[in-house]
Chains A and B, each alone.
Chain A
Amino acid sequence: MSNIQNIVDAVASGSSSAKAQVEEALKRANDKKDFNAILSLTNERALKRADEIDSRIKKGENAGRLAGVPFVAKDNFLTFGSPTTAASKILGNFEAPIQATAVEKLEAEGAICIGKANLDAFAHGGSTENSAYGPTKNAVDTARVAGGSSGGSAVAVALDIVPFTLGSDTGGSIRQPASFNGVVGVKPTYGTVSRFGVVAMASSTDVIGPITKNIADAELVMDVLAGKDDYDATTLPDFFKPQTEQVKKQKVGIVKELMSDGVEPEVLKITNDYIEKLRTAGHSVEEVSLPLAPMCLAMYYIIVPAEVSSNLARYDGIRYGVRAGAKDLGELYGKSRDQGFEPENKRRILIGSYVLSSGYYDAYYNQAARARTLLIQQFNGLFEKYDVLIGPVTPTVAFKLGENTDDPLKMYMTDVMTTPANLAGVPAISVPAGETAEGLPVGVQLIGQLKSDAALLALARSMEANNE
């Protein structure tokens, strides 16, 4: 059942109003402040938009498919009504002069952005602990991390502050926090949703997508978001259409490299239980191999820092953001960037500068780009025989706050199962599959071929019914 549709119907029928929806969402956000999921609220603008929508409905006008539905955008989406910080200090005071296309599309359908969600600064991280404004706490266990980098977005949905949020996924940043908090996270096919107005991290893998409580909501939001945008040359013509027909029997491949000894036993068990349910539902399931999966993290942590070092060159203290005091231009750049970036931002920029340096370029960057070709070939080979691939989202449940902060490499390991889909550009979703004896959520990951987003969601929706 769609939570979003319920709100739309209630607002349309007059049993609720956009204003009531926004006021309630703002109240919930304030009540749940201790989780630090939300960095800023757009109170004034959100209430004004709610009034506009209510008056359109009263006049009998069409107020859109999402009329009156409050949502929260990750704070790397440019939005009006409150600052866009990317959870960094250097953009600490940045008031966006434009809005992201994704936000504009949602607003055109009557949805109302009520605030901005916490993230690892510039989306660099897997726990939201790299935020300049403090970590977000896990929705289920406040001693644990929210995951990341879209940690605030996942927790805001898990806590029912809003029925959906926007996140970005460069190497798992939607799927991993969705798994850690027991909600649905969608990483669409590369190019499905416009990234115009979203703070760029790694342009060859960045995608944006929704986090929701259930699959029907994810389908509804994806349907609004998907499509070509003249402002983002990497967008594909709209191919996304929620599947209404019965899900056919699927051929499912269990990626054995993702089911390794390194995965916590309870995560493995919950994944296997989900696989068993797929079998019971009549789908054929067998083990398959993606031999390059164990190498993906190495590819990722060459290609992504390279792109990060280029994309973050624009934060120079000149055109926007915070400027450090300095006597000459060189010092201004150097100090603004040192003071404005978090340690993980600097690590990635320096690694990027290293792998792109003459002498290392071919051995690192181009080697990774060639390996990426081989990875895509291996995916293509599998998708000739299988409709869907399955594995865990992460090797562990949400870890304790502070557990991995001293060792950047250990933190990177949380991306080990999510990076393959980003490197290949294929869609992947994180679906709640169960919880451990301690009550911590575990998601499974479904991966499909390019543009199979709607089919993946339809399969997950059919299984959702089986899970209940």
Chain B
Amino acid sequence: MASISKDEVVHLASLSNITLTDDEVVSMQADLENILNYVSQLSTLDTTGVDPTYQVNGLENIDRADEVIDYGVSREQLLATAPEQSEHQIKVPKVI
């Protein structure tokens, strides 16, 4: 049985950059435990010597020439989607 402590929920939230409220931590704890207990059934499956699959349609090493592609979209249009801009750049709170 997977068991998840409140501290672990807070740790996972911090890894995920989500600031959960205290109430959310409590409800997440119960939900995550239920879900992890359910998916843990997979541990009963013998997969010794089996290679993992990450891609299913057989394509691999798809590359292209290292050339700039014109998507038909301007820098201004892209910047306009950011919540705050200043002097043609995306503005963020002071980092250092």
Contacts and interface: CB of A to CB of B under 8 A. Distances in A.
A426 to B, nearest CB: 8
Interface string B1-41: 00010000100110111111100100110011011101111
Nearest to B61: A233
B68 interface: no
A288 B39 CA distance: 25
Contacts of B56: 190, 204-205, 376, 423-425
Q: How large is the interface on A (under 10, 10 to 19, 20 to 34, 35 or more residues)?
A: 35 or more
A316 interface: yes
Given A337-B17, A337-B18, A98 B52 contact: no
A341 B16 CA distance: 12
Contact of A97 (B17, B45, B69, B78): B78
A11 to B, nearest CB: 28
Contacts of B42: 295, 298-299, 302, 364, 367-368, 371
B83 A321 contact: yes
Interface stretch (A145-153, A154-162, A324-332): A324-332
Contacts of A354: 4, 12, 32, 36
A133 interface: no
Interface stretch (A14-22, A69-77, A344-352, A390-398): A344-352
B39 to A, nearest CB: 4
A230 B55 contact: no
B90 A319 contact: yes
B81 interface: yes
A34 interface: no
Interface in B46-89: 47, 50-59, 62, 64, 69, 71-73, 77-78, 80-84
Contacts, number: 177
Interface residues of B, number: 55
A190 B57 CA distance: 6
B51 to A, nearest CB: 6
Interface string A377-388: 000000000000
Nearest to A362: B52
A343 to B, nearest CB: 8
Nearest to A375: B53
A408 interface: yes
Contact of B84 (A189, A236, A292, A323): A323
B54 A369 contact: yes
B53 A369 contact: yes
B34 A408 contact: yes
Contacts of B80: 95, 97
Nearest to B27: A343
Between B9, B59, B80, the greatest number of chain A beta carbons within 10 A of the residue's beta carbon is seen for: B59
Interface in A64-110: 94-95, 97-98
A76 B57 CA distance: 23
A313 B17 CA distance: 8
A94 B52 contact: no
Given A301-B35, A337-B17, A354-B36, A329 B95 contact: yes
A370 B81 contact: no
B35 A409 contact: yes
Given A318-B92, A334-B18, A337-B19, 12 more contacts: A98-B72, A295-B45, A301-B39, A309-B16, A318-B82, A318-B90, A322-B83, A330-B17, A337-B18, A346-B16, A372-B53, A373-B51
Interface of B: 4, 9, 12-13, 15-21, 24, 27-28, 31-32, 34-36, 38-43, 45, 47, 50-59, 62, 64, 69, 71-73, 77-78, 80-84, 90, 92-95
11 contacts: A95-B81, A191-B59, A319-B90, A328-B93, A329-B94, A332-B92, A333-B17, A347-B31, A347-B32, A357-B12, A424-B56
**Closest 4 pairs (CB-CB, A-B):** A425-B56, A334-B19, A369-B52, A370-B47
